[in-house]
């Protein structure tokens, strides 16, 4: 009995302890890591591998034709993907709401020194960045819980470049991830099932029309 209770308590603690995603940017270098308890996994930076394979030269006509065909394929693929994404969003609203209610931005620090070619350009760049940044932060704060953000943006009339430093930490408990994944997975299953039924209907209608003809 005590063993079962201890196992249940451990599971509850593991589900309650939040998963943290940390993003840091400074000096043109971005770092992204995920932490859970004492485990840490670095996602960025990723080591870059360069493949030295040479592409075959095509004639101008073949290149244009290949580009047109590739654009048409990409367009149809994007349209299908967009329809499926809209269907998934509409069907998985419960899971997304569950994530939105439980996610918390526990650290949001942004430091920007805005420069320009001259004092006028620096002031202009500062106004553009401030006009875009603060409304965006307001929109984010209306959807998720942002705890005591630290934002400092100032024009630097003596510098010709803009320097950014950012640090963000997001926390989400595992139980919310599991519940949301269940909702979203069930929604995806429903969409795939409906698509299969629609394809069967199209095939059956085609066979009926061909048999009549």
pLDDT digits (tens, 9 = 90+) for 179-199: 777 777 777 777 777 766 666
Give the DSSP H/E element, type plus range, for residue 210.
helix 174-212
Q: Token pair of 78, please? A: 């994007």
Dist. CA 195–CA 189, nearest whole Å: 10
Cis preceding linkage at 45, omega within 30:
yes
Task: State residue 206's pLDDT score.
Answer: 61
Q: What is the DSSP letter of 17?
A: S
Those residues whose C-beta lies under 8 Å from the C-beta of residue 149, and which sit 6 or more positions away, are: 105, 108, 109, 110, 137, 141
Q: Whole-structure pTM over 0.85, yes or no?
A: no
Looking at residue 50, its pLDDT comes to 38
Of 169, 161, 73, 91, nearest to 121 by C-alpha is: 161
The pLDDT of 140-159, averaged and rounded, is: 85
Tokens found for residue 184: 């979203």
pLDDT in tens, 15-62: 777 888 888 877 777 888 888 877 788 877 754 443 444 444 546 666
Residue 138 · residue 146 · CB < 8 Å: no
d(CA 80, CA 184): 19
* pLDDT confidence band for 202 (50 / 70 / 90): low
Give pLDDT, residue 100.
80
3-state secondary structure of 97: helix
Q: CA-to-CA distance for 167 and 26, rounded, in angstroms?
A: 9
Residue 151, helix vs strand vs coil:
strand
pLDDT category, 207, cuts 50, 70, 90?
A: low
- When the pLDDT of each residue in the chain is averaged and rounded to a whole number, the result is 76
Q: Which two tokens stand for residue 59?
A: 């004639």
């Amino acid at each position: 009995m005590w063993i079962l209770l201890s196992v249940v308590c451990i599971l509850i603690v593991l589900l309650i302890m939040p998963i943290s995603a940390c993003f840091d940017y400074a000096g043109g270098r971005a770092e992204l890591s995920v932490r859970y308890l004492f485990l840490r996994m670095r996602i960025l930076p990723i080591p870059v591998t360069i493949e030295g394979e040479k592409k075959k030269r095509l004639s101008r006509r073949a290149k244009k034709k290949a580009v047109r065909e590739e654009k048409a394929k990409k367009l149809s693929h994007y349209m299908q993907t967009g329809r499926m994404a809209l269907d998934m969003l509409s069907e998985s609203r419960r899971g997304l709401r569950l994530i939105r209610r439980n996610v918390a931005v526990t650290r949001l620090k942004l430091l920007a020194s805005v420069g320009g070619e001259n004092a006028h350009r620096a002031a202009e760049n500062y106004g553009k960045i401030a006009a875009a940044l603060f409304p965006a932060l307001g929109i984010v704060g209306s959807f998720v819980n942002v705890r005591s953000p630290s934002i400092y943006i100032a024009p630097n009339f003596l510098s010709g470049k803009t320097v950014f430093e950012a640090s963000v930490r997001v926390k989400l408990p595992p139980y919310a991830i599991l519940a949301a994944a269940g909702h979203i997975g069930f929604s995806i299953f429903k969409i795939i099932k409906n698509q299969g039924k629609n394809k069967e209907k199209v095939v059956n209608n085609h066979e009926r029309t061909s048999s009549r003809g």
